[in-house]
Structure 1
Amino acid sequence: MDGSDQSKMMVMKKRKPMRVMVAMDESDFSFHALKWALDHVFVTPEPAAEKTEEASPEEVDMVVLVHVQEPFVHYGFPAGPGGTAVYATTTVVESVRKAQEENSAALLSRALQMCKEKPNIKAETLMLEGDPKDRICQATEQMHVDLLVVGSRGLGTIKRAFLGSVSDYCTHHAKCPVLIVKPPKETAK
């Protein structure tokens, strides 16, 4: 068997379908990361001329779009003379939660639409509540993902120290490889 026959054999070898999680938020950075992953991580091989059958669902790459909304915490605040504490009513709390869920659903729907444009990829969404850093890392472990993709806001060292960084935290705590997609050069500051 010469070198060209060996390379043909390697191409014909089946690869394990990838399970990739992409962390989504309201920023353009997360949508840039999703687009980058769809264009570069999920490379569709050229179909062989003689092979025309559809891939089974077990052979298709999977992308899990995860959005973590922080829990709504209604604090009491002093109002009026004497500093009487005022708390949000149940209807206000429910209204805020409903708005958060609607925003999350719209965000994930937009991301899901981007995935539908890519052939041979199955996509699903996951909406969680809690601290994004912790919940994303927990989800990667529970779902046995092969790769976590997160966008980077391009924060400097000082801002990152004060604000924290989901991408930085995930690189140190996720139980899978993490790919941080930096913002495009024209928007990075």
Structure 2
Amino acid sequence: MAESERRILVAVDEGDESIYALSWCLKNLLFQNSKDTLILLYVKPPRAVYSSFDGTGYLFSSDITATMERYSQQVAECVVEKAKRLCNKIQNVETMIEHGDPRDVICQMAQKLGVDVLVMGSHGYGLIKRAFLGSVSNYCAQNVKCPVLIAKKPKSTAGDI
């Protein structure tokens, strides 16, 4: 029987939770000699809009804006490179850096790329934090059209320090 090729999208960010999800995926979903394609996606969030209470707002010079953008790009490249190093035994690894609201971009890219599964980490927020901060993984699980695997990093115990 011929081995089918799968396209697996893993959303990565600066958090340990996404690295855990990637590691879990590599250990449990991918095999060294498979023809699967692993796609690592990092989404740069939109630049924060700064404003003052009196409505005058803050204006940044083009130098400061360019510096902030360069830093954001360096962070993205660093995260993607770290994730890619974990995938050294996988033959087909693609990387992507996109810009926008992570919830929307992840769902759009899953659809556009026609992936077979989306793998994400979970911060494990409680009900109240999730209500205020939102949950990217929950949003994607509700809105993406492919199966979504949310790998929740186990809480460490006092003896694990």
Does the alignment reach a TM-score above 0.5? yes
Work out whether 1:153 is the aligned partner of 2:153: no
Is the 8 Å Cα contact of residues 45 and 100 (structure 2) preserved in structure 1? yes
How far is 1:77 from its partner?
A: 3.2
| Residues 112-144 of structure 1 deviation map (CA, whole Å, 9 limit, x = unaligned) | 11111x24x310111011000000000000000
Work out whether 1:87 is the aligned partner of 2:59: yes
- Secondary structure, counterpart of 1:77 in structure 2: coil
- Secondary structure, counterpart of 1:64 in structure 2: strand
Cα distance in 1 for partners of 2:105, 2:70 equals 20
How far is 1:83 from its partner?
A: 8.1
TM-score after normalising by structure 1: 0.77
Alignment of 1:46-125 (within 5 A): 60-77=35-52, 85-116=57-88, 118-119=89-90, 121-125=91-95
- Secondary structure, counterpart of 1:92 in structure 2: helix
The verdict on how the C-alpha distance between 1:83 and 1:181 changes in structure 2, with shifts beyond 3 A counting, is closer
Higher radius of gyration, 1 or 2: 1
The one-letter code matched in structure 2 to 1:154 is: G
| Structure 2 residue aligned with 1:31 | 19
Structure 1 runs, 4 residues or longer, greater than 4 Å off: 82-85
TM-score after normalising by structure 2: 0.90
The one-letter code matched in structure 1 to 2:3 is: R
Among the aligned pairs, what percent are the same residue? 38
Work out whether 1:17 is the aligned partner of 2:5: yes
Alignment of 1:38-49 (within 5 A): 38-44=26-32
Task: Give unmatched runs, 5+ long, in structure 2.
Answer: none
Is the 8 Å Cα contact of residues 10 and 38 (structure 2) preserved in structure 1? yes
| Structure 1 residue aligned with 2:141 | 171
- Secondary structure, counterpart of 1:63 in structure 2: strand
| Residues 63-101 of structure 1 deviation map (CA, whole Å, 9 limit, x = unaligned) | 1000101121442437xxx98643111111111000000
RMSD: 1.9
Task: Give unmatched runs, 5+ long, in structure 1.
Answer: 1-12, 46-58
How far is 1:164 from its partner?
A: 0.3
The verdict on how the C-alpha distance between 1:20 and 1:84 changes in structure 2, with shifts beyond 3 A counting, is closer
Cα distance in 1 for partners of 2:103, 2:7 equals 19
How far is 1:175 from its partner?
A: 1.3
